[in-house]
Structure 1
């Protein structure tokens, strides 16, 4: 089956109430996709994002670490839109702030810190893949895109738990890409750097933003909207032959 245009896709975006997630939801909505605006706690913000998209958006509360909650959300989306979820963007960030001054160091980071981030990244991705795979397999088409980080390639600030979880997520995705490829399902990652500016980066100083800006070839800090453009590409028909890849979108700060 050929890949459908974005306007024919049902897109589930986790953590879509704020920051990058909200930009992703609006970007897919702009392209005419039907969008599930997943959120965990930010009810008002999620409903505002959905309202900005219109009747092609469905706000839905679910903790992506809970398998039953994810399955219920996927089922509700299919009922609401009359079509199954074809495209998943795993974006939710669980209990983390990019604060270089207050971060857990090598001496203070605990296994529970790692576990929190691994559950928010890898466990959530597993639940999403397992909930959405049957309908994708039946259709012969699916897109799974996870949000990573350029800190895996360049841990300029050693956020031990967060960066380790993103590295593990990339391994998870590449294994899934290998297994799900014969079913027409692609699995990729888009990795940004520090984004200008989101709730997660609110604790980051202006000096750090200036340092990043002056270190990139483009002399800019990547915006959530620019990240969203790359995710749109992976969901589009133009990326039909790409899977198992990690695209770094950070203005050229990290080159591979």
Structure 2
């Protein structure tokens, strides 16, 4: 989908009865959208005409810059995904602002993490609190976001929830213990919710990227790590945030209306399943 020209209506599917066939009908919330992958996802949806909630936690200036790139269809909103009241307030604010419910939710927020292979916590040094931080960001945040959106998704008769995971769950080349465990738990969350909500027209999927070139989270990774990825990936490149964002767009579109409970790995073929 990265070859689709800017401004094209990639959501348009002839014969689809989905409300999402018209990009202007979509109100999309992306958590952690002020930078990195989240910002790329927000801009991708904005490019296609969706109305976009640019969620942020601690970076208002960056969130406002992303929203400015999108234009008047974007709304920056602060919320900590670990706080259910804050998440509900964000969804209510979006509904009031756009005059339409949030029926597409992308959980991308990452809590205080850097991919630094040389200075990571090891089996001897990691604490349970490290695990708890990542599980809360990955699963607790996903739960709060989905639950806040469920009433309106049900009222609409459809919804799209997309979580962001990692190819490290399938192949932990670097043992980022806490981060990978949180993302593995998110996979279980995704499949359980997909199983329960599918009959209501709500799909729940994951997109799993590799180490991305380059985000704040990956900035601490050495050149040697990036070189190793290039050498061992069929495409010979490191995946970009924009390439992962295109896969998220697919799951939100009518083209994926029969796809749920899936984990799509977008890493140039480094991990094959």
TM range (shorter): over 0.9
Deviating above 4 A after TM superposition, structure 1's stretches of 4 or more consecutive aligned residues are: none
Does the 8 A contact of 2:28 with 2:103 survive in 1? yes
Q: CA deviation at 1:158?
A: 0.0
The root-mean-square deviation of aligned C-alpha atoms, in Å, is: 0.7
The answer for the alignment partner of 1:35 in structure 2 is 52
Match of 1:23 in 2: 40
Which residue in the other structure is 1:104 paired with?
Answer: 121
* Structure 1 match to 2:242: 225
Counterpart CA distance in 1 for 2:155 and 2:19 is 14
Query: Which secondary structure state, in structure 2, belongs to the residue aligned with residue 115 of structure 1?
Result: helix
Shift of 1:233: 0.3
Residues matched between the structures, number: 256
Unpaired segments ≥5 residues, structure 2: 1-16
Contact 1:3 1:240 in 2 (8 A): no
Residue 165 of structure 1 aligns to a residue in which SS?
helix
Residue equivalent to 1:177: 194
Is the counterpart of residue 201 in structure 1 residue 218 in structure 2? Answer: yes
Offset at residue 3 of structure 1 (A): 4.6
- Hey, what's the Cα distance between the residues in 2 that align with 1:202 and 1:225? 17
TM-score, normalised to structure 2's length? 0.93
Out of 98, 102, 126, which is 1:81 matched to? 98
- Equivalent of 1:241 in 225, 250, 258: 258
The answer to whether residue 182 in structure 2 is matched with residue 165 in structure 1 is yes
- Where does residue 123 of structure 1 map in the other structure? 140
Q: TM-score when scaled to structure 1?
A: 0.99
Q: Deviations over 1:26-53 (max 9, x none)?
A: 0000000000000000110000000000
In structure 1, runs of 5+ residues without a counterpart are none
- CA displacement 1:73-120 (0-9 Å, x = unmatched): 000000000000010000000011000011000001110000000000
Select the residue among 212, 216, 222 that pairs with 2:233.
216
| Conserved 8 A contact 1:36-1:60 | yes
Q: Give the superposition deviation at 1:127.
A: 0.3
1:2 pairs, out of 15, 18, 23, with 18
Match in the other structure for 2:66: 49
